[in-house]
């Protein structure tokens, strides 16, 4: 099994079963994962609605963390 940041991220979401598919589809970095939408989840093979919601929520949190960090640099 791959051991990278995406695997660790998915493991914290209790969705490590998708790690290999994420990496195989080019989602091997959290910066890339921030761009995930429904077509991407279809390509990756995430079909379970609850899993999709969990990933969308986690992507939203990643984006919010970036916005918070960006604000720190300019204050």
Give the CATH number for residue 10.
Answer: 1.10.150.50
Of residues 52 and 3, the one with the higher pLDDT is: 52
Report the number of distinct structural domains present in the chain.
1
Q: How confident is the model at residue 62 (pLDDT cuts 50, 70, 90)?
A: very high
- Residues 6 or more apart whose CB falls under 8 angstroms from that of 25 comprise 40, 43, 44
For residue 36, what pLDDT is reported?
95
pLDDT digits (tens, 9 = 90+) for 11-54: 999 999 999 999 999 999 999 999 999 999 999 999 999 999 99
pLDDT at 74 over 90: no
What is the span of the domain harbouring residue 29? 5-72
Q: What is the pLDDT of residue 69?
A: 67
| Total-model pTM | 0.83
Query: Long-range contacts: 62-70, Cβ < 8 Å, 24+?
Result: 62/30, 62/33, 62/34, 63/34, 66/34
**Cα–Cα distance between 26 and 49 in angstroms, integer?**
22
């Amino acid at each position: 099994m791959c051991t990278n940041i995406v695997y660790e991220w998915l493991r914290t979401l209790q969705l490590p079963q998708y790690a290999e598919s994420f990496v195989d589809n080019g989602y091997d970095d959290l910066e890339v994962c921030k761009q995930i939408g429904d077509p991407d989840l279809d390509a990756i093979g995430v079909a379970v609605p609850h899993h999709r919601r969990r990933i969308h929520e986690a992507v939203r949190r990643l984006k919010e963390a970036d916005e918070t960090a960006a604000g720190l640099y300019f204050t």
